[in-house]
Amino acid sequence: MDFQHPWLLILSIIIPLLYLWYRYSGQNREGVIRISSAAFISDRIRKNGVQKSRILFALHFIIIFLVILGLARPRLVDNLHETNVNVVDMMMVLDISSSMLADDFSPNRLEAVKRTASAFIDGRKEDRIGILVFAGESFIQCPLTMDKGILKSLVKEINVASKEHDGTAIGMAIANGTNRLRNSEVDSRVIILLSDGSNNAGEIDPKTAADLASQYGIRIYTIGAGTDQSYTRIPGRGLIRNEIDEETLIHIAEQTGGKYFRATDEEALATIYEEIDLLERSEIEIREFTQYEELYGWFLIPGFLLGLSMETFRRSVFRSKT
């Protein structure tokens, strides 16, 4: 809290000066009635008179004090300081096709991706992050948000796509992610695309979608998830072929100024997210501003009401005629 006119607080010295003046001079100048003996006035009447006089005396000083404080304009001050923070808007685009159930990651590719994605989210305190999932079609799991708690809870709920939506529509996923970022006012906009297959669905070619993202200044980091073996296994379904289209993923990254990574296990995937975390650090400046909440009314209004009440009591209860 501070005062807009602190120099007016000097006027508070009037209070002790008035008290000293009244104690040693002023009370002797008050109007009096002379009587031959104090015995004619009972102790009760004398005590009531002294008590009323002290109450009026104290109220005068309280009112003066409140008025001085009010005139000094007390106010609460809320300061925000200028600082630089790292801010990036990013969409995490995750493949949820049935091949993500392969067990070359423990317990499967999808669960490993969810764990490493959650750890990555924890490290991006100032950023807005969204989640988009795709198989034969793309779906928004979570729009851009700074609420990391909600984001991580929605990551946990990600499951592989149903059979009717199965497939790998990389181009559509990039186009959808670009649409979510294109109106962002943040300079640094990023898509992190993870897939374990090749584009086999959707109406937009991945290279065409990458060119669209590049026009909006959106960088795409691509991750190919899966071992180097020709085949891997989905529990209960048997062997499947590893069909990561590295050529396309590399082209997407290069076209947009990003980078391609290959994750053959969960440890490598975690390392990739850490590298992306280091690459994507963009600073913006936050300027200081000050917000004031005026408090003078909390002093002037009670001072006015006390003054009005004191005058009312003085003329009615205390029966003063002056």
My answer on whether 67 and 140 are in the same domain is no
User: Residue 322 is encoded by which pair of tokens?
Assistant: 């002056």
186, part of any domain = yes
Comparing C-alpha atoms, which of 224, 225, 278 is closest to residue 110? 225
**Beta carbons within 8 Å of 311's beta carbon, 6+ residues apart:** none
Range of the domain at 221: 84-285
* CATH number, position 208: 3.40.50.410
pLDDT in tens, the chain (322 residues): 777 778 888 878 887 887 777 777 655 555 555 555 556 566 666 666 667 677 777 777 788 888 888 788 788 777 665 555 667 899 999 999 999 999 999 999 999 999 999 999 998 888 899 999 999 999 999 999 989 999 999 999 999 999 999 999 999 999 999 999 999 888 889 999 999 999 999 999 999 999 999 999 999 999 999 988 888 999 888 898 888 999 999 999 999 999 999 999 999 999 999 999 888 865 555 555 667 677 767 777 877 787 777 777 666 665 555 5
Residues 75 and 213 in one domain: no
Residues 182 and 73 in one domain: no
**61 domain residue, yes or no:** yes
Q: pTM for the full model?
A: 0.64
Report d(CA 70, CA 304) in Å as an integer: 11
Indicate the DSSP class of residue 217. Answer: T
Same domain for 102 and 227, yes or no, is yes
Q: What number of other Cβ atoms are within 10 A of residue 34's Cβ?
A: 4
- Would 175 be classed as within a structural domain? yes
Q: Is residue 72 part of a domain?
A: yes
Residue 32 located in a structural domain: no
Q: Are the C-beta atoms of 65 and 74 separated by less than 8 Å?
A: no
Q: Count other Cβ atoms within 10 Å, centred on residue 227.
A: 17
User: Do residues 186 and 262 share a domain?
Assistant: yes
Tally of structural domains, the chain: 2
Same domain, 266 and 144: yes
Domain match, 261 and 300 both? no
